[in-house]
Amino acid sequence: MPSGRPAVELRSSVAALATEWWVLVGGLGAYLLYSAWVLATGAAVGALAPGFADASLPAVGGVTGLTAVAAVLWIGVPAVAVARLLPRPLVNDSRNVDYPYRDIRPGPLLVPPGLVSVAALAATVVRGPAPWLTGAALVAGVFLLVRTAAYDKRVYRPVPLLSPVCLAAAGAALAGGWLVHAPMVAGVADPLAAPVSAAGVPTVAAAVVTATGGVPGRSLAALAAVPTVAATAYVCCQVAASLPVWWRAPYPEGTFTGGTGGRRLPPTDGEPSVSRRSVTSDARSADGPGARGAPEDRAPVDDVPDEFAADTEVFRRSETGAVDRDGPERIATVRGPEPDRQPTFSAPAGGPADGAATGDCPACGLALSSSDAVAYCPECGEPLD
């Protein structure tokens, strides 16, 4: 991770743009896929129910049937798709935020695209809408939206639904921008005029323009600003909602985990904690590179083939709250067998530790034998009363 110096962190944030080529490729692919979706569904509605597509619906404000269908298929569906799909490339198989976002602090991560987007929007307000300003604000806003989704994976989330709502609002605005832009493109590209008109896009675009600005250029500029506005609103609301939580800090060690949206872990003060690690036979040997403590201090383990072996060691915290992995407070060492076998546990000589429980785990159902000496389930961390 970069050092705490702002200049170093900002340089790392700018350098990370080189790894975000997938945002441009994904954006182009989404543009083409959405174009095909609109043209296909618009043509299908016009062919299957021409009377409904052109009819006025007083129950929904007098809009046409096609406009009402477009509100669901052309605005609602893309909004849900953006909220569900955009965060997926940001996490790895363990559902933690992936590189390079995990190496950059959440705040500096937002600065480069945020500055470009805010500058483009400010210039639009000062001199009026211009295609190149609208394009700059749109591209920078999309990058800011992606990084805001990564920011959401890096910080404690007091309101988990806040990020999906902001992503959905940005997705709806991007879809509306396409609808406003399509008739303008069809006007200068004759091959596109016929399919765009057959799908009824000009009718829906007129409704979007009326709702957002009254003029196509101004409407496009307003819709291009929504990703930036949504990302900024998310950060402001996130900070405001999290301040009471941090005012009640500090919390015990291990209360929250990074990259999991603030998921709480079992209590740790004065209680055993579980450390899982997969090691080779060399690391498990007393004189190997991964050995901890002398051979006589290590609890016995079952004879399990190396390809299925994984040690789970249970320790008791000291009075200071730290885990002493090499001292005499090791409670038990568990060798994990292959999946179709029930695990067996070995307790150190002297009988079960004080406060240990036996029986099945109430949370995951793991069977514990009478010789187990653990106060927490070694599989899921559930307290064993």
- Locate tokens 């290590």: which residue? 298
Q: Pull the structure tokens for residue 117.
A: 């987007």
Pairing verdict, β 56-57 and 63-64: antiparallel
Q: Pull the structure tokens for residue 20.
A: 């975000």
Does the pLDDT at position 132 exceed 90?
yes
Does the pLDDT at position 203 exceed 80?
yes
Query: Which amino acid is located at 122 in the chain?
Result: A
Q: Pull the structure tokens for residue 287.
A: 């004189």
Residue 213 or 17, more confident? 17
Name the strands in the sheet holding 330-336, side by side, starting at the edge strand that comes first in the sequence: 272-277, 310-316, 330-336, 344-346
> Whole-angstrom Cα distance, residue 230 to residue 214?
22
Instruction: Give residue 250's pLDDT.
Output: 60
Burial class (CB in 10 A: 0-12, 13-18, 19+), 370: exposed
Instruction: Tell me the pLDDT band of 195, cut-offs 50, 70 and 90.
Output: very high
H or E stretch at 359 = strand 359-360
Does the pLDDT at position 9 exceed 90?
no
Q: Is 343 helix (H, G, I), strand (E, B) or coil?
A: coil
Mean pLDDT across 28-33: 96
Does the pLDDT at position 65 exceed 50?
yes
- Locate tokens 């007098």: which residue? 62
Neighbouring residues of 204: CB distance < 8 A, sequence distance ≥ 6: 66, 67, 70, 74, 179
DSSP 313: E
Q: pLDDT tens digits for 224-247?
A: 999 999 999 999 998 888 888 777
Q: pLDDT tens digits for 215-225?
A: 888 999 999 99
> Whole-angstrom Cα distance, residue 17 to residue 114?
13
Instruction: Tell me the pLDDT band of 371, cut-offs 50, 70 and 90.
Output: low
Instruction: Tell me the pLDDT band of 209, cut-offs 50, 70 and 90.
Output: very high
Instruction: Give residue 247's pLDDT.
Output: 77
Domain boundaries, the chain: 6-247, 272-368
Residue 278 or 307, more confident? 307
Instruction: Give residue 317's pLDDT.
Output: 52
> Whole-angstrom Cα distance, residue 170 to residue 166?
6
- Give the chain's mean pLDDT: 76
Instruction: Tell me the pLDDT band of 34, cut-offs 50, 70 and 90.
Output: very high
Neighbouring residues of 129: CB distance < 8 A, sequence distance ≥ 6: 217, 218, 220, 221
Instruction: Tell me the pLDDT band of 99, cut-offs 50, 70 and 90.
Output: confident
Mean pLDDT across 301-308: 47
